[in-house]
Amino acid sequence: MSELTKLKISEARDALRKGDVTAVELTEACLSAIDGAGALNAFVHHTPEIARAQAAAADQRIKAGDAPSLCGIPLGIKDLFCTKGVPSQAASNILGGFKPEYESTVSSQLFDAGAVMLGKLNMDEFAMGSSNETSAYGNAVNPWRRGNDDTALTPGGSSGGSSAAVAADLCLGATGTDTGGSIRQPAAFTGITGIKPTYGRCSRWGIVAFASSLDQAGPMTKDVRDAAIMLQAMCGHDPKDSTSADLAVPDFEAMLTGDIRGKKIGIPKEYHMDGMPAEIDALWAEGRKMLQDAGAEIHDISLPHTKYALPTYYVIAPAEASSNLARYDGVRYGHRAKLAHGDGITEMYEKTRAEGFGEEVKRRIMIGTYVLSAGFYDAYYNKARKVRTLIKKDFEDAFAAGIDAILTPATPSAAFGLGEMQDADPVKMYLNDVFTVTVNLAGLPGIAVPTGLDKQGLPLGLQLIGRPWEEGDLLNTAYALEQAAGFVSKPAKWW
């Protein structure tokens, strides 16, 4: 049975349609894999009853010859997505006990396409973090280990439960969200594929907001084809999210031809960072060669404002977060602090927020309210907005000059040890996103593809950045890179 969970979405889809396996069998295999993987702490709320009911319904649809793309495919859903009647806590104590009355647009689209929900996945609290260590549930663990020791490693963040679950074959695919890199960095740390689509491709309705001008949902899967299949079901216009684009969604899977001849690939010189491990540089050079061998034209380009991206992100994201998180006041959702005799409403707010939010979330709220305060608004927030426009313009100039996609490393290192950054300056953790935040600031699609192993046997990924709304083309370039890299390694099972 356990072999079933190793199937890719595309393989399972074909097997289900042929009648080689049923959705119920596939779902049971995933549920038992999840039961056996408690050590990974990837699933934090289990929904076996929902999974079994959805699987049985999927089998009926398949029998009736009415099987949509994800019919009977077992998925994990990041805890940031509101799922009706199921705890949706954004890995925060402040949302303890919160069970939404509604379903997020993205998860309901997945269910309409026949997907089966196995449960909710661990993440950093409110999606703030790069290691899953800010989670109120405790961190998820990377199924990969260094070849020479058994140090527990981070699965990345914030979508660390999603990456761990997919890499460990607990589910066939998972949803993630990406505000500054939270799909791509955990995908790279666990040897899987993750795409953040163009801002506005997926509805944000029903996804707990972190930084609304940057947040996007996307799939985390075992390969590029699966990403295309799952993304297709996730995107589309939603009248309930005014920033979701009213654009047709092309057939992404049909665009995977692997033919990238004549495509112009940009290699931005600013992504060469001082102190970057030689292995990452070597991987990047290999990726360049792979795309060239596949017939693409390689161009060295410049994105001059890259160095301002991280500081810009760490003004804009906390500013928006401080505003979004003002709604958690002990009145409307989840946790409310126990009050002492004589406490009024102010004490209720203060005590609830002091108890409910973790350290990193409090840090972001404080930074956010500071940069938005009357005296500093122009110096920080307005300045950051201006710089963001320049960062976006760098990409627009590159695309206007004919560049189709940009190749960069996905992360500046392989997965690091859990606890390793505990006493470090928080900025060291923020540096994880140095290659990914630019993409969110510019609203572009970006994909991380596993392309190699480091000398300790850990996966490393490359990132491709595409033109807005051209996810199909981006997926095809990623597909060509995937074919050339031939990454097939899997973590050795220890859990």
Which residues of this chain interact with ligand GLN, rule CB under 6 A?
127-130, 158, 178-182, 210, 317, 433
Distances (CA, A) of 114 to 21, 55, 70, 253: 16, 8, 5, 17
Rg (CA), the chain: 21
Least distance from ligand GLN to the Cβ atom of residue 465, Å: 15
Nearer to ligand GLN, 10 or 163 (CB): 163
* Nearest partner of 226 among 119, 73, 3, 105, judged by Cα: 73
Q: How far is the CB of 269 from ligand GLN (least distance, A)?
A: 24
Distances (CA, A) of 137 to 92, 121, 140, 141, 370: 8, 10, 8, 12, 29
Name the minimum Å distance from CB 426 to ligand GLN: 9
Q: Please, what is the minimum distance in Å from the beta carbon of residue 268 to ligand GLN?
A: 20
* Catalytic-labelled residue, pool 78, 196, 222, 264: 78
Specify whether 158 is catalytic. yes
Minimal distance, residue 313 CB to ligand GLN, in Å: 7
The CB-nearest residue to ligand GLN is 182
Nearer to ligand GLN, 193 or 476 (CB): 193
Q: From the candidates 163, 182, 203, 322, which is the catalytic residue?
A: 182
CB 136 within 8 A of CB 335: no
| 320: its two tokens | 């928006």
Length in residues, the chain: 495
> Whose structure tokens read 């999840």?
34
Q: How many angstroms separate the CA atoms of 75 and 373, rounded?
A: 42
Query: What whole-number distance in Å separates Cα of residue 297 and Cα of residue 275?
Result: 28
Enumerate residues 6+ apart whose C-beta is below 8 A from 8: 172, 221, 222, 223, 225, 226
Choose between 44 and 229: whose C-beta lies nearer to ligand GLN: 44
CB of 177 to ligand GLN, least distance (A): 6
Q: Which of 158, 159, 203, 322 is catalytic?
A: 158
Handedness of CA 269, 275, 276, 279 (dihedral sign): positive
Output 74 or 180, the one with its CB closest to ligand GLN.
180
Residue (181 or 200) nearer to ligand GLN, CB: 181
Q: How far is CA 334 from CA 91, 344, 441, 482, in A?
A: 12, 19, 31, 43
CB of 380 to ligand GLN, least distance (A): 17
User: Taking the complex as a whole, how short is the minimal distance between the CB of residue 336 and ligand GLN, in angstroms?
Assistant: 26
> Considering the complex, what minimum distance in angstroms separates the CB of residue 250 from ligand GLN?
26
Task: Tell me the CA end-to-end span of the chain in Å, nearest whole number.
Answer: 17
* CB nearer ligand GLN, residue 158 or residue 306: 158
Residue among 27 and 179 whose Cβ is closer to ligand GLN: 179
The CA distance from 78 to 158, in Å, is 10
A 10 A CB-CB count for 259 gives: 12
- Is-contact 309 430, C-beta < 8 A? no
CA distance 172 to 10: 10
Q: In 351-382, which positions are buried (b, 16+ CB within 10 angstroms) versus exposed (e)?
A: bbbeebbbebbeebbebbbbbbeeeeeeebbe
Q: Do residues 199 and 231 touch, judged by C-beta distance below 8 A?
A: no
The torsion angle over the Cα atoms of residues 154, 155, 160 and 164, rounded to 10 degrees, is -140
CA torsion 106-108-113-116 (nearest 10°) is: 100
Decide the pairing of beta strands 264-268 and 297-301. Answer: parallel
Spell out the residues 6+ positions from residue 471 whose beta carbon is closer than 8 angstroms to its own. 195, 197, 198, 201, 231, 252, 445
Residues marked as catalytic: 78, 158, 182
